[in-house]
Chains A and B, each alone.
Chain A
């Protein structure tokens, strides 16, 4: 079927629509609310167009402005990037619909929220579409800066403190990554991932580059023990920002790490390539357990959700040892499912927490006081998101855990299977701790502020998304396979079209 726009146009639009919208929102703050929502809708449309194109024509590589690599800037997309772009578009739309309601009470924050958030979105889309390491660095830096600025929006002392810490961590992470890029460029004369994939060979340069890049990205992804900055930052930011940080921002650095691993380093062989996955798996397992236990101990809702993110990040790293050095598809697909499900579900949970906060003026879990009765839609959103987080069926989280367990049992990695199951049980513990208090009246009945319906429904629809993801295999499975991101090195994909 001849389409008005082809895949290349959609990919370009994914970078330029949010960028232009960010500028427009900065220049015309009064129109920011509807400009932002309009941009979100356009981005979702472009993402769906790109997904459609990938499904019918396979992976995509575009030379922007007609200059190919290594001179010009290349955009490229396969199933892995498309899946994350889609999740970003859905969460982004949900948060964009939510934000006007939330910021109606804080006009000063709203002034800065829209430009920063749309810039963040530009960086996310650019990162998922970039084909060379330097471009990726630029996107990573823009991402980190806008995320730190968004964290500071609340203006409170704890918020500023957390934002400052977040900024420093983020800069340190990008610097480490840049060092790796420089090493690789020096060693192999290119920053194009496809070309690098062909030229790279085992040795000191590759090993050092791998180590510094991995360290930088782990810091940004907040894998235990680098998670220390995450709970204060995610816990103190305004609710829509927390949702963005937890659902999207950490996924971007994880994606980059995964991409580098799959396309550059996993095939190198040698001791490090054998040990690193095991180490990441162990750290991931520790993060699952430690984060969940910490979440159980929290008394404030937003901190509980933030620690839950620490735990959920851990799951993503279980894919490394389970996939082994040679790519084993099921484990990576499991990780992708978990990342997507976490994005949708965690956004829903943070937005619900924002509703409860606005409603009651606090987020003390023990004082939720019949929230179930008074904010039923919000609580439903929280619980449905929670179901996916704890991996109960039917949900995206369940499919992810099922696949992860399947791969663990097939390889006889009992330890990881136990961690996956235990993490689910602990997650049920902290989600239902909240629900239990939401059913129970406190001694002194509390009055609440009205919460606009758009805030309730955007949280609920995101949570539905996490549930529906459990039924998405018939089309998500082929999409994840486009360009064979977990199998073929990228070099062979480059010439696909």
Chain B
């Protein structure tokens, strides 16, 4: 009785569906696997993520050559569940597909011998499924559905450890995201009753309504932005993020770099560009307050990070700050700033995940959880700390690491729009980044190591840690160097962000 996908669709409807299936099906199978089926589970995980990566690669090539990918399923009369792959979707898709592979590898190493792994990897896969759904959403309804699915699938990961603290963190996470989801739903339905459509369009679909419904549109904008802004950790909606740090390190990596926070930032991009259209949004006068909120979040997150001794909390506040670069780039209306914001979506992901991987390694190998315990750790774990250092330089924005490219375009974009204050915000943020990150590097490389580490584990031989834990941060650190160095080659994030800006947002 359930309707099949329209058989008359062109053949390239299958790729988006396969991208979803490549993590959904392994995830569902994994739930039913017995705990000790280590190899079956690993095989499923890796096969799924490799297939997804290949599919995304194929679509990258296709979209570059003007191919179309879309699939839809009727949900309500006049409203379909639509998956549509556009250049913007691919930016997010390739980020999440690539980092999912690495995070899966890392998680396999990290969770070795810990209980409930089938449950963990099951939800892990579902979480990525929801993320790629968000990336491919062709209308606001589809976006909303996958966005809520993301909430539901990340909750079990946040409470995975089963401690009382984890339960509390889960509660706070849900309280934030569910209320935000309700606001998002309200804004979406309201918009639908006014506009009669929810399909993402390159210049937005509300231009005709501005005259008659100006105030309604502004209210809808606020509802929608708060709805996605919780996940993007905009101040004052950020307080769930540092608490969610009780989750295992791969989950933190996932939350911060691949899925949740990114989905929030991506939502802001969609709402500004594809729902309202950036020019309409500027005309409504809503972009300027958004830019100010972003600027405040950037500074606030950095200042709070200064005072955290817990390493993961410090990184969490750093995320709060860094993700708002994306929002800032979107809210400064102009092509260059857009490029800067979009490219930071990828850059921040790659750099931040490196830092989280390294923090996880320190905790797993030596039992280090605090900055004050990191004296001399560079001598004990040189490779990990090398990756960490590259990530840190990127965060500060030193060339040639990727973070520099983002800041360069954001700054230029501000100037192009005739604004000077973004420059000061960026410079201030760089200084603050340096102030909370460089002391860590100083301790790690130049201080004397202690007699004994808090809780050292032996991985055999002279290895600094398990290779599954070491490999992913090295790869992402190398990546963040490479995409910075070769930013102008085809298919780098920067070039792709330019292509998006040209094709979609600022058509001549």
Contact = CB atoms under 8 A, between A and B. Distances in A.
Contacts of B181: 392
Interface string B125-162: 00000000000000000001100110110011001101
Contact of B75 (A392, A399, A410): A399
B148 A393 contact: yes
Contacts of A436: 159, 167, 170-171
Interface stretch (A68-76, A111-119, A421-429): A421-429
Given A417-B186, A473-B77, A373 B155 contact: no
Interface in B66-95: 73-77, 81
Contact of B174 (A424, A428, A472, A474): A428
Nearest to B170: A436
B4 to A, nearest CB: 10
Nearest to A407: B193
Contacts of B171: 432, 436
B385 interface: no
B75 A409 contact: no
A470 B192 contact: no
Contacts of A417: 186, 189
Nearest to A403: B76
B156 A439 contact: yes
Contacts of A372: 119, 156
Contact of A473 (B75, B159, B163, B183): B75
A109 interface: no
Interface string B377-411: 00000000000000000000000000000000000
B152 A410 contact: no
A339 to B, nearest CB: 17
Nearest to A408: B189
Contacts of B119: 372-373, 376
B149 A393 contact: yes
Given A405-B189, A406-B189, A475 B77 contact: no
B77 A477 contact: yes
A409 B223 CA distance: 14
B75 A470 contact: yes
Contacts, number: 98
A228 interface: no
Nearest to A410: B193
Contacts of B185: 401-402, 405, 421, 424
Most buried by A among B75, B179, B189, B190: B189
A101 interface: no
Contact of A475 (B1, B167, B174): B1
A423 B395 CA distance: 42
Contacts of B31: 376
B130 to A, nearest CB: 11
A437 B167 contact: yes
B167 A421 contact: no
A439 B2 contact: no
A441 interface: yes
B162 A440 contact: yes
A267 interface: no
A399 B167 contact: no
B178 A425 contact: yes
A471 interface: yes
A394 interface: yes
A439 B156 CA distance: 8
Contacts of B2: 468, 471-472
Given A373-B116, A406-B192, A439 B148 contact: no
B164 A440 contact: yes
Contacts of A454: none
A415 B6 CA distance: 39
Contacts of A212: none
Interface residues of B, number: 42
Contacts of A477: 76-77
Given A436-B167, A473-B77, A409 B179 contact: no
A425 B179 contact: yes
Interface in B1-58: 1-3, 31
A393 B144 contact: yes
B447 interface: no
A370 interface: yes
B159 A409 contact: no
Nearest to B158: A439
A437 B119 CA distance: 16
Most A Cβ at <10 Å: residue of B74, B116, B183, B190: B190
Nearest to A373: B116
A410 B196 CA distance: 11
A399 B75 CA distance: 8
A120 interface: no
A387 interface: yes
Contact of A409 (B77, B145, B193): B193
- Counting chain A CB atoms within 10 Å of each CB, the highest count among B144, B156, B182, B186 belongs to B182
Nearest to A477: B77
A468 B75 CA distance: 11
A402 B142 CA distance: 13
Given A428-B178, A473-B75, A439 B162 contact: yes
A373 B114 CA distance: 14
B89 to A, nearest CB: 19
Interface string A407-449: 0011000000100011011001100100111011100000000
A370 B162 contact: yes
Contacts of A393: 144-145, 148-149
A439 to B, nearest CB: 5
Interface in A472-487: 472-475, 477
B74 to A, nearest CB: 5
A394 B148 CA distance: 9
Contacts of B182: 421-422, 424-425
A381 to B, nearest CB: 14
B3 A474 contact: yes
B286 to A, nearest CB: 20
Given A392-B148, A405-B189, A406-B192, A432 B74 contact: no
A402 B189 contact: yes
Contacts of A440: 159, 162-164, 166-167
A392 B152 CA distance: 9
A394 B145 contact: yes
B190 A439 contact: no
Interface in A169-220: none
Given A406-B189, A432-B174, A471-B73, A439 B144 contact: no
Nearest to A412: B193
Contacts of A403: 76
Interface string B267-306: 0000000000000000000000000000000000000000
Given A394-B81, A475-B3, 16 more contacts: A393-B145, A393-B148, A394-B145, A405-B186, A409-B193, A422-B182, A425-B178, A425-B179, A425-B182, A432-B170, A439-B156, A441-B162, A468-B2, A471-B73, A473-B77, A474-B74
26 contacts: A387-B152, A392-B151, A392-B181, A402-B76, A402-B185, A402-B189, A403-B76, A405-B185, A406-B192, A421-B183, A421-B185, A421-B186, A424-B185, A425-B179, A428-B174, A436-B159, A436-B170, A437-B167, A439-B160, A440-B162, A471-B2, A473-B74, A473-B77, A474-B3, A474-B74, A477-B77
Interface of B: 1-3, 31, 73-77, 81, 116, 119, 144-145, 148-149, 151-152, 155-156, 159-160, 162-164, 166-167, 170-171, 174-175, 178-179, 181-183, 185-186, 189-190, 192-193
Q: What are the nearest 8 A-B pairs in CB distance? A: A393-B145, A405-B189, A428-B178, A421-B182, A409-B193, A474-B3, A439-B159, A436-B167
